[in-house]
């Protein structure tokens, strides 16, 4: 398998100081890929900045110019969680553009699949506002880009970040061409993502939310994937699968309360890879969203590259949480979601 890696040092220039979403996340991840010998097995795809036209497929022109002028004026806070430095605008253009390069690489078969290791992340950013460490919605821009540039009709975005991708949901809530599937701790930031949010108008049914109770872990994530994501994806028949990969649902990530493991992330990635092979010629592109424990982020990215390369051995240096919580209520919960989305 030819797996593509998108990374650019400009991502480190988005200087957030001592914020949890900081450049060390990528520094450690890239050096771990080098240390473990995985990096040399990957095909590097050079990032590029997204054009204004590409950003405007998702974002309001006034918002884009607001971010640009904020950077020119030295940076500052875009919302209570999201801070910018003078280079953040450029980094954000390359984060969005990095994912476009990954999509192009996969669509043109230069690589079989790809993972864009970018920051700032994107899935909370909405049309005219930054939210939750996100400036531009990288995955949403990539989906629109793939629909128009490669004349696709159906794209699946799977989002297993611990937070709901409200920005991505928003962008495609009425759009039947993009199926958005999300697992996320709920209720939790940003507050959206209830199971009853299923899309609107022509997009009714193409938003699939799988809220998760605090404490649930691999077993529940994998059942959500196998019993809900797989059947809805088979029904939808995507031509490309994009993945918002966040590793903040790991037990050792203290931003949230879930108990997933690195092995669990690799198993989710394998389900997505098998779905892509079955439904869309293997076309699969991951992008980094959240994940704030540096060892978890580095090891999870490495584990996902192992899956993308077809390596069967997955290393999980952190193992399982020492205290497991009982998944009370999960059976009833998944049955209700299956009924909502008409899967048996
Ligand atoms: Zn997150």
Model pLDDT for residues 78-110, shown as the tens digit of each residue? 999 999 999 999 999 999 999 999 999 999 999
What is the pLDDT, as a whole number, of residue 337? 98
Helices marked H in the chain: 24-35, 52-55, 61-72, 88-107, 138-149, 166-172, 218-224, 230-236, 262-279, 294-309, 330-340
Q: DSSP letter string over 306-335?
A: HHHHT------TT-S-SSPPP-TTHHHHHH
Residue 120, classified by CB atoms within 10 Å of its CB into exposed (0-12), middle (13-18) or buried (19+), is buried
Distance 343 CA to ligand 1 centre (A): 27
What torsion, rounded to 10 degrees, do the Cα atoms 230, 220, 269, 97 define? 90
What is the arithmetic mean of pLDDT over 174-184?
Answer: 98
Residues β-bridged to residue 183 = 210
Cβ–Cβ < 8 Å for 90, 4: no
Distance 160 CA to ligand 1 centre (A): 9
What is the pLDDT, as a whole number, of residue 327? 82
Residue of 123, 124, 163, 164 marked active site:
124
Distance 299 CA to ligand 1 centre (A): 17
Residues with CB under 5 A from ligand 1 (ion): 161-163, 246, 248, 290
Catalytic annotation on 342?
no
Q: Model confidence over 123-155: pLDDT tens digits?
A: 999 999 999 999 999 999 999 999 999 999 999
With vertex at residue 84, the alpha carbon angle to CA 137 and CA 4, rounded to the nearest 5 degrees, is: 45
Lowest pLDDT segment from 159-163, 269-273, 326-330 = 326-330
pTM given for the model:
0.98
Lowest pLDDT segment from 61-65, 149-153, 245-249, 326-330 = 326-330
What is the arithmetic mean of pLDDT over 293-303?
Answer: 98
149: how many CB neighbours lie within 10 A of its CB?
Answer: 13
What is the pLDDT, as a whole number, of residue 204? 98
Distance 162 CA to ligand 1 centre (A): 5
Distance 289 CA to ligand 1 centre (A): 6
Distance 130 CA to ligand 1 centre (A): 14
240: Cβ–Cβ under 8 A, 6 or more apart, which residues? 103, 106, 107, 146, 150, 152, 155, 156, 280, 283, 284, 285
Distance 109 CA to ligand 1 centre (A): 30
Measure the CA–CA gap between 127 and 129, rounded to whole angstroms. 6
């Amino acid at each position: 398998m030819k797996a593509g890696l998108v990374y650019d040092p400009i991502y480190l220039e988005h200087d957030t100081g001592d914020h949890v979403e900081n450049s060390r996340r990528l520094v450690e991840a890239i050096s771990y890929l080098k240390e473990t010998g995985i990096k040399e097995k990957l095909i590097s795809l050079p990032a590029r900045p997204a054009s204004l036209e590409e950003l405007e497929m998702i974002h309001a022109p006034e918002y884009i110019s607001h971010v640009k002028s904020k950077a020119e004026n030295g940076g500052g806070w875009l919302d209570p969680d999201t801070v910018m430095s003078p280079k953040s605008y450029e980094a954000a253009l390359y984060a969005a553009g990095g994912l476009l390069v990954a999509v192009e690489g996969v669509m043109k078969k230069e690589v079989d699949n790809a993972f864009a290791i970018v920051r700032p992340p994107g899935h909370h950013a909405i049309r005219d506002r930054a939210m939750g460490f996100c400036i531009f919605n990288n995955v949403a821009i990539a989906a629109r880009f793939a629909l128009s540039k490669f004349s696709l009709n159906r794209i699946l975005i799977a989002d297993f970040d611990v937070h709901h991708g409200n920005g991505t949901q928003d962008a495609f809530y009425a759009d039947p061409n993009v199926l958005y599937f999300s697992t996320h701790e709920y209720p939790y930031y940003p507050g959206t993502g209830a199971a009853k949010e299923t899309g609107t108008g022509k997009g009714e049914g193409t938003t699939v939310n799988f809220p998760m109770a605090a404490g649930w872990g691999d077993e529940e994530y994998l059942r959500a994937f196998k019993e809900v994501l797989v059947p809805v994806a088979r029904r939808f028949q995507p031509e490309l699968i994009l993945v918002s990969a966040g590793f903040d649902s790991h037990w050792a990530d203290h931003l949230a309360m879930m108990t997933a493991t690195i092995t669990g992330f690799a198993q989710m990635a394998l389900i997505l890879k098998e779905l892509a092979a079955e439904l869309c010629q293997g076309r699969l592109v991951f992008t980094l969203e959240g994940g704030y424990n540096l060892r978890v982020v580095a090891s999870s990215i490495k584990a996902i590259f192992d899956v993308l390369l077809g390596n069967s051995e997955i290393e999980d240096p952190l193992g399982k949480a020492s205290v497991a919580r009982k998944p009370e209520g999960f059976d009833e919960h998944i049955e209700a979601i299956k009924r909502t989305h008409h899967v048996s």
